[in-house]
Amino acid sequence: MQLKSIIKFASLLFAAPVFAGGCEDIDKCPAEILIVATKPEYRNEEQNQGLESVRTTLEKFSVSANKYEISPEGVSTEDLQKILYDKNNKGRYKAIIFPNGRVSYSNGGDVWSSAIRPDQWKVFTDYSAQTKNKIVYLNEYPSNNTGTELAYDFTGNPLNYKVPQPIIIEDGMIGADELNKLELTTEETWHFPAKITPNAPGFTVVEPLMYFGPNNVAPEQTIGAVACETAEGAKTAAFFTSFGSWSRVSAALNIYWLTWVYEMDFSKISEAQYSTEDAIRMAASDAPRSTKLGIALVLSTISAVLLTLF
């Protein structure tokens, strides 16, 4: 990456005070992507790795981004509006990314909550509906938030959520052929086989982006990610697998959701001008393959999403 691109990304990613950085005027910190996460002192190691996966991909391929971190005390709806819209009520971002599902933090032990109030999630869906821009949830749990439910409930044996499954990208999607050639699996990640809820309330579209192939505990092909559209026009994607900088799967899937957001070849997204196929190969080959950090159960996502259903 050129020095100019590195400086530009760094200045954007850590720009305004709400983004834990330098410039005081958000209007002087333009970016295509907004990353929303819990403040670092309240994140666990897996949450850090999920955020790092996204940051690494965006930096590597010179896609501009800002980061908004929220403490357990929460954020006012007014502040959320200021982050999302400029003074002319125009949306600031092409996409909003939640790298750890529902911006969760621990209340102690296994008790987790979201830093965003249940009623405030509508601020984000309204943003998508009004601006026609998109929302992406990584490390998400199947729920009525996305018109989905668990295909197999392994509550009594959660280790089944770690049994590897093939990853299959929906035919016709940008990058599908290259991703499927890689023969990716969930070996390095926790994942939640899902199914689409028939006639899910509030949605006009819930369609697969990705599948989990059969294995010995989930004998049928299941849903690994979906694209949804609400009756109001909000468009979201949800990936039912954990993401982390330790995972080549995460690195490749980061390219996938970026092309879903922009609906164009990756060469037109990245300042580095790599094609979708080249970007996928580079991302998957460069990522570390250690599974050391992939073995932490994503209780934070499961617990927080149950508190934010709407």
Cα pseudo-dihedral 72, 15, 286, 53, rounded to 10: 10
Q: Parallel, antiparallel, or unpaired for β 95-98 and 33-38?
A: parallel
What is the mean pLDDT of the segment spanning 4-12? 36
CA–CA separation, 269 and 32 (whole Å): 10
DSSP 8-state secondary structure symbol assigned to residue 197 = P
Provide the pLDDT confidence category of residue 288 given band limits of 50, 70 and 90: low
Smallest CA-to-CA distance from 145 within 236, 259, 59 is with 236
Quote the tokens at residue 40.
């670092």
H/E run at residue 150? strand 148-150
Return the minimum-mean-pLDDT range out of 144-153, 217-226, 280-289: 280-289
Quote the tokens at residue 281.
């190969």
Evaluate whether the domain defined by 3-307 bears CATH number 3.40.50: yes
Q: Parallel, antiparallel, or unpaired for β 203-212 and 222-230?
A: antiparallel
H/E run at residue 65? strand 65-70
- Domain residues of the chain, as ranges? 3-307
SS3 14: coil
pLDDT tens-place string over residues 196-222: 999 999 999 999 999 999 998 889 999
Q: Is residue 286 scored above 90 in pLDDT?
A: no
Name residue 33's beta-bridge partners: 65, 95
What is the mean pLDDT of the segment spanning 22-34? 76
Q: Is residue 70 scored above 70 in pLDDT?
A: yes
H/E run at residue 177? helix 176-181
